[in-house]
Structure formats: C-alpha cells, structure tokens
Chain A
Amino acid sequence: DAKTTQPPSMDCAEGRAANLPCNHSTISGNEYVYWYRQIHSQGPQYIIHGLKNNETNEMASLIITEDRKSSTLILPHATLRDTAVYYCIASTGANNLFFGTGTRLTVIP
C-alpha cells in the first residue's frame, strides 16, 4: 500500500469547516483513499473513501486531486465531538490497513 503523509496536528474553530490534507504521491491505480478517525482509544471509525471522484456522505466530503496524489477530507461544520485523530490510508481495501500517525484535530469552542 502507498505511504501517506499528514500534518501531525490541526486546530479548527467549532462550527467552521475542517479541511484535513493528505499526500499520497505514490498511490497506485487500484488503491482507494480511505479516511478513518479515532476518538481517544476507541475503535477506528470509518468516515469515507474514494478512488478518483469526489465523494460526500452524511459525515464528510472527500476531494481527490485529478492526479490522485493528494486529497482533502472536509468536515463541513466541525463540532467538539469531531476532536479525534484522523487517518488517511491508501489501500486496495484487501486485508491489511496500514495506519500511520494521522492528524490530531482539535476543535476549539
């Protein structure tokens, strides 16, 4: 699976959009971009994934650049409950998910 690079931490004001970037310049054609988050020591929570097209669900939007070398997860209206570590993972989805160190997002009141 391709390696991903994320900033170690970010802050976001409550109610504002949180934009979390991820670089995956070595991603291969059959690898999806997955986003998970982990609140404290709870189990990783699936957020969204995509291959080429932008995706949106009830939790977030995923914007993938045309060359697929980077992506941005957007939480449109961040709340205090969105404070968590966010992981960007490039994977075919089969078997092993490789979790890096992620981005610690702190939503500030």
Chain B
Amino acid sequence: EPEVTQTPSHQVTQMGQEVILRCVPISNHLYFYWYRQILGQKVEFLVSFYNNEISEKSEIFDDQFSVERPDGSNFTLKIRSTKLEDSAMYFCASSLEEWDTQYFGPGTRLTVL
C-alpha cells in the first residue's frame, strides 16, 4: 500500500540554524500539506501546496518557513532560523484531489537546542 515517507525521523539542531525536513508524498497525489504537533498539544495545520504554489497557510507559517517541491517526488519544509519553540513533530500529508482524504507520514521529530 502506498504511503507518505518522511526523513529524517529525528533532527536535532542548534537555535538559529536552518533545517530542511523532507517528505515523499504518495506518488500520484497532487496536494501536499505540513502539520506540526508540539509535545502534548494538538496537531496544527501549517500549509497546503498545489501546483507549485501555496494554497493556504496558517498564522504559524510565518516568513521563517518555506515549502518547495524541488523535483517530481520530494516536498520540503524549510525553517530558516530555528527557535526553541519550533521543537515539535512535523507531519507531511498528501491527497489525490483537493477534496480527498489526506494521508499522513510518520513525522519528523525536530529538537531545537
């Protein structure tokens, strides 16, 4: 069964450093998403992406964040200058169509020291 994959599973970084989280969505899916979950809190929407453009973003997704689909398979989330409060699980998801079910990856645990 096709699945969303994410790398790395755990990333540790120093405050102020840039990080790139990588996702490989399900191969024929066209819509891509990032969510995050701070430890003990709710899963929160960050951004959705379609046709090489951001289609919706939350207020969490500020200028420090960016997304990119650099090739036909990867979907990345970049945090330009990490802060302690960026420590969280980051989940990528994809869907076939805009109105379709979203399937989530296993997540990347980001720890900012």
Residues of chain A having any CB pair with chain B under 8 Å? 34, 36, 38, 41-46, 49, 87, 92-101
Contacts and interface: CB of A to CB of B under 8 A. Distances in A.
7 contacts: A41-B89, A43-B93, A44-B91, A46-B101, A93-B98, A93-B102, A96-B45
A93 B91 contact: no
Interface residues of B, number: 28
Contacts of B48: 95-96
A98 B42 CA distance: 9
A41 B101 CA distance: 20
A96 B100 contact: no
Query: A-side binding surface: helix, strand, loop or mixed?
Result: loop
Contact of A96 (B58, B106, B107): B58
Query: B-side binding surface: helix, strand, loop or mixed?
Result: strand
Which of A92, A93, A100: most chain B Cβ within 10 A? A93
A99 B43 contact: yes
A61 to B, nearest CB: 17
Given A41-B109, A87-B43, A93-B99, 8 more contacts: A42-B106, A42-B107, A43-B107, A44-B91, A92-B99, A96-B58, A97-B35, A97-B102
B25 interface: no
Contact of B45 (A34, A98, A101): A98
B37 interface: yes
B88 to A, nearest CB: 10
Nearest to A43: B104
A98 to B, nearest CB: 7
A60 to B, nearest CB: 14
Contact of A101 (B42, B91, B109): B42
Ordered nearest first, which 4 A-B pairs have the shortest CB separation? A43-B104, A99-B43, A93-B99, A96-B45
B56 interface: yes
Which of A34, A38, A94, A96: most chain B Cβ within 10 A? A96
Contacts of A96: 45, 48, 56, 58
